Amino acid sequence: MNTPEHNNSDSHSASITRRRFIAGTSASVLGFTVLKPGLLRGAEANSRINIGLIGCGNRGKWVADLFQKHGGYNFVAVADYFQDHADEAGETLKVPAANRYTGLSAYHRLLEQKLDAVVIESPPYFHPEQAAAAIDAGKHVYLAKPIAVDVPGCETIARSGEKATANKLCFLVDFQTRANKLYQQAVKAVHDGELGKIVSAEANYQCGDTWGHMDQLLRKDPKNPEVRLRAWGVDRALSGDVITEQNIHALDVACWMLDAAPIRAYGTGDRARDYLGNCWDHFAVIFWYPNDVVLSFNSHQSGYGYDDIMCRLYGLKGTADTHYFGNVMVKATDFHLDGNVGALYGDGVITNIATFYNSVTQGECSNPTVPASVRSNLTTILGRTAAYKQGVVTWEEMMHKKEKLTPDLKGLKA
């Protein structure tokens, strides 16, 4: 199965060769000639960025390998709730045992170390508190999507992004689509008016079973708090549910193209598979955007046979059509674009890692991915809230209510 959450196989990472990494990285970066003294906190000019990994699971290990292949980073510490995960990543990244931290507060001890930046790849619920602590500690942040599971979490990230910019720190949210030239060209064409007046839009995230392994794990010992943490993908409060945790890839592109947040949404959905936990596996939401633009969104995460992450915009002069695993097209009366995104899952991350390096070393701290990610993350939360209600919810109501998702962390070690 092909999903951006389940593609981090060894074969994938093995296929990301040094040559392809170099293609996504500027020569000056590889030559370490661009560093300006003073921009790297705690690091000497002309040296590598000292970095720590928070969350040493599948994605964390895979992304850390790409950071290493970049050549401009040096892992000095790792943090994970579980010792086995911290040790596995620590061995691979050659982080001494003394610098491997565990427990819910592991990230605090990691942040006390001499490092310039952190990569956060923990379950989504923890992202706001970990990113905020990192920015407060003066570290640059590279963060996995989704940025948060609820409105207060999104607001925390928004504040951390502003604080980062004010304090000359870089904060990058890792959406692969945003790093891709074809997506960028299509979005620019839309913003330049090539489609004419936008009338409507569609976004879809269709895939098969994603968290079956977590369901199986949870069934063995459902009351054990550590097992519940390992199985975070089937827990609403830890993951944000499928629409936020996974479908955000499609809704982020929609918000980017429409360059707006929705005004209100009507939603529905349910659970078809018999997983433990409380997540749904299909959603259908109608979002109303400014200027009477209607976006219909549909997703499923079950069954077999059809995978796609797409967003399509219909305008009076043309159509834009984007597919994470396929082509990005714009077919308009005066504009044409059609190209295959290739191995976006890996290439997008490689580009983001190179961008993060350039931003840190050149002091480019405008951090444009943060507000964009806050907006699309809130859009997923609006859709989720409407779907749970099986009714209409406005953006204003959602922002006013500030509903908080609180996982049961009782019994976990600090």
Ligand X SMILES: NC(=O)c1ccc[n+]([C@@H]2O[C@H](COP(=O)([O-])OP(=O)(O)OC[C@H]3O[C@@H](n4cnc5c(N)ncnc54)[C@H](O)[C@@H]3O)[C@@H](O)[C@H]2O)c1
Chain residues that interact with ligand X, rule: CB under 6 A: 4-5, 54-60, 79-82, 85, 104, 106-107, 121-124, 126, 144-145, 174, 229, 245
Q: Which residue is nearest to ligand X (CB)?
A: 57
Tokens matching residue 337:
């674009």
State the minimum distance, in angstroms, from the CB of residue 400 to ligand X.
27
Nearer to ligand X, 32 or 82 (CB): 82
Nearer to ligand X, 35 or 344 (CB): 344
Q: 2-5: long-range contacts at Cβ-Cβ below 8 A with a sequence spacing of 24 or more?
A: 2/207, 2/307, 2/325, 3/207, 3/208, 3/210, 3/246, 3/307, 3/309, 4/176, 4/246, 4/249, 4/309, 4/324, 4/345, 5/210, 5/245, 5/246
State the minimum distance, in angstroms, from the CB of residue 272 to ligand X.
22
Contact call for residues 143 and 161 (beta carbons, < 8 A): no
State the minimum distance, in angstroms, from the CB of residue 324 to ligand X.
9
Nearer to ligand X, 246 or 361 (CB): 246
State the minimum distance, in angstroms, from the CB of residue 128 to ligand X.
12
Does residue 37 have a cis peptide bond before it, meaning omega lies within 30 degrees of 0?
A: no
Q: Phi/psi of residue 175, each to 5°?
A: -105, 125
State the minimum distance, in angstroms, from the CB of residue 240 to ligand X.
9
Nearer to ligand X, 80 or 241 (CB): 80
Paired sense of beta strands 264-270 and 336-340, if any: unpaired
Nearer to ligand X, 58 or 165 (CB): 58
Nearer to ligand X, 24 or 57 (CB): 57
State the minimum distance, in angstroms, from the CB of residue 52 to ligand X.
11
The arrangement of strands across the sheet holding 264-270 comes to 336-340, 327-332, 318-323, 308-315, 198-207, 293-301, 282-289, 264-270, 392-394
State the minimum distance, in angstroms, from the CB of residue 341 to ligand X.
13
Nearer to ligand X, 361 or 376 (CB): 376
Contact call for residues 102 and 229 (beta carbons, < 8 A): no
State the minimum distance, in angstroms, from the CB of residue 182 to ligand X.
17
Nearer to ligand X, 238 or 265 (CB): 238
State the minimum distance, in angstroms, from the CB of residue 310 to ligand X.
15
Nearer to ligand X, 10 or 192 (CB): 10
Paired sense of beta strands 140-144 and 171-174, if any: parallel
